[in-house]
């Protein structure tokens, strides 16, 4: 028993020494290889002709026509959350639900767009970020940002199902089709497949109140700022469908807006913009800084892996430490042999 313990000690020491050596050598190599100061790259901007949506929660009546139209446009099946399974009742976005209207409720829920004793709606779908984390995280470029329209597009043929995009998105948008043996990622692509037939986003096309409006993001931002400058409770004209398209405008009361266009600056800016009468965090929109995380993560990656310096330096350091420790072990093995032989002699 005591012999066993004695024999185990040198191996444990070697292992500890090896690991310590690796850590130290790796650290030295890392410092040497990444000697230059890491500065985050600039957050990417929306392309000038970026397309997007403006969702105005104060105009939304919660009819969910946009949810149904989105399903139809993307040939997605119904999802059920009720026992009777009579109609499409998804509780959240999924691999088969790319657009959802969620509801905020407080107290007696008497007043629309009021935080206290009120209720409000909020659209959940891809924000088409100017500098998208999903694109940055995808190792095989299955997620890409169209350089002209800025639409964040998904290529199922290139996708390897790693779901890095799912983890990277700050809005929790890309979802995987877990129930399918050939699962894909599901998310809004701004109905890009419909434009060749002269259509645009189905959710905006069908929205009866213009709460979801399609257009160039720059024009949508100007429209959002026009609304914020209107007097709450006054009557104003609101466009429907496509901004700059056929005139479908109508008159409605101006909502009591929070003076904030969500998506103008959040996360480096998004191509889907939002207006609300209720605090954005309360209706489920995350409070994000003006810089995109992709700018930081890519800087770290490129600093560490630039020119493969870091991996090569670490590999070299590990090889050196491993070789040195192998020599030590031989020496120690010799000593043990001698001890063993001596012991044998004693016996």
Please give the residue ranges that form the binding site for ligand SF4 (CB under 6 A): 60-66, 69-70, 73-74, 98-99, 101, 121, 123, 125-129, 132-134, 152, 169, 171, 173-174, 187-188, 190-191, 201-203, 206-207, 209, 211-212
Q: Which residue in the block uniquely carries the two structure tokens 């185990």?
A: 8
* Burial grade of 144 (CB within 10 A; 0-12, 13-18, 19 or more): middle
C-alpha dihedral, 211 to 214 to 216 to 221, nearest 10°: 10
In angstroms, give the least distance from the CB of 151 to ligand SF4. Answer: 9
233 and 58 Cβ atoms separated by less than 8 Å: no
Alpha-carbon distance 188 to 175, whole Å? Answer: 10
In angstroms, give the least distance from the CB of 16 to ligand SF4. Answer: 43
Of 29 and 270, nearer to ligand SF4 (C-beta) is: 270
9 and 17 Cβ atoms separated by less than 8 Å: no
Of 25 and 149, nearer to ligand SF4 (C-beta) is: 149
In angstroms, give the least distance from the CB of 17 to ligand SF4. Answer: 45
Angle at CA of residue 266, ends 230 and 245, nearest 5°: 50
Q: How many CB atoms lie within 10 A of CB 13?
A: 13
In angstroms, give the least distance from the CB of 79 to ligand SF4. Answer: 14
Alpha-carbon distance 174 to 261, whole Å? Answer: 23
In angstroms, give the least distance from the CB of 247 to ligand SF4. Answer: 18
Closest CA to 242 of 285, 284, 170, 194: 194
Token reading at 204:
């905006």
Alpha-carbon distance 243 to 223, whole Å? Answer: 9
Of 97 and 321, nearer to ligand SF4 (C-beta) is: 97
Alpha-carbon distance 329 to 104, whole Å? Answer: 67
Alpha-carbon distance 135 to 165, whole Å? Answer: 7
Of 191 and 273, nearer to ligand SF4 (C-beta) is: 191
Token reading at 177:
């089709």
In angstroms, give the least distance from the CB of 336 to ligand SF4. Answer: 58
* Burial grade of 230 (CB within 10 A; 0-12, 13-18, 19 or more): middle
In angstroms, give the least distance from the CB of 275 to ligand SF4. Answer: 12
In angstroms, give the least distance from the CB of 232 to ligand SF4. Answer: 20
* Cα dihedral across residues 314, 320, 322, 325: positive or negative: negative
In angstroms, give the least distance from the CB of 174 to ligand SF4. Answer: 5
């Amino acid at each position: 028993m005591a012999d066993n313990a004695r024999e185990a000690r040198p191996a444990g020491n070697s292992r500890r020494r090896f690991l310590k050596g690796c850590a130290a050598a790796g650290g030295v190599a890392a410092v040497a290889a990444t000697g230059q100061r890491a500065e985050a790259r600039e957050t990417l901007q929306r392309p000038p002709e970026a397309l997007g949506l403006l969702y105005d929660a104060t105009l939304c009546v919660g009819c969910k026509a946009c949810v149904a139209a989105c399903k139809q446009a993307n040939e997605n099946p119904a999802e059920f959350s009720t026992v009777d399974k009579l109609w499409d009742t998804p509780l959240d976005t999924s691999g088969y639900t790319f657009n959802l209207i969620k509801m905020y409720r407080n107290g007696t829920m008497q007043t629309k767009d009021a935080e206290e004793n009120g209720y409000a709606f909020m659209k959940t779908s891809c924000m088409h970020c100017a500098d998208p984390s999903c694109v940055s995280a995808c190792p095989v470029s299955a997620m890409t940002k169209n350089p002209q329209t800025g639409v964040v597009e998904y290529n199922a043929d290139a996708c390897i199902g790693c779901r890095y995009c799912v983890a990277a998105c700050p809005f929790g948008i890309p979802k995987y089709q877990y129930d399918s043996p050939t699962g894909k990622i599901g998310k809004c692509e701004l109905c890009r497949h419909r434009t060749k037939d002269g259509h645009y986003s189905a959710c905006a096309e069908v929205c009866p109140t213009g709460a979801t409006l399609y257009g160039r993001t720059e024009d949508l931002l100007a429209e959002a700022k026009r609304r914020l400058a209107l007097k709450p409770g006054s009557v104003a004209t609101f466009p429907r469908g496509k901004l700059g398209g056929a005139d479908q405008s109508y008159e409605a009361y101006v909502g009591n807006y929070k003076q904030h266009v969500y998506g103008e600056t959040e996360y480096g800016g998004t191509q889907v913009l939002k207006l609300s009468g209720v605090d954005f965090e309360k209706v489920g929109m995350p409070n994000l800084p003006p810089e995109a995380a992709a700018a930081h993560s890519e800087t770290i990656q490129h600093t560490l892996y630039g020119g493969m310096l870091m991996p090569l330096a670490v590999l070299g350091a590990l090889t050196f430490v491993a070789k040195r420790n192998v020599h030590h072990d031989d020496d120690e093995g010799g000593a043990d042999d001698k001890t063993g032989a001596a012991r044998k002699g004693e016996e």
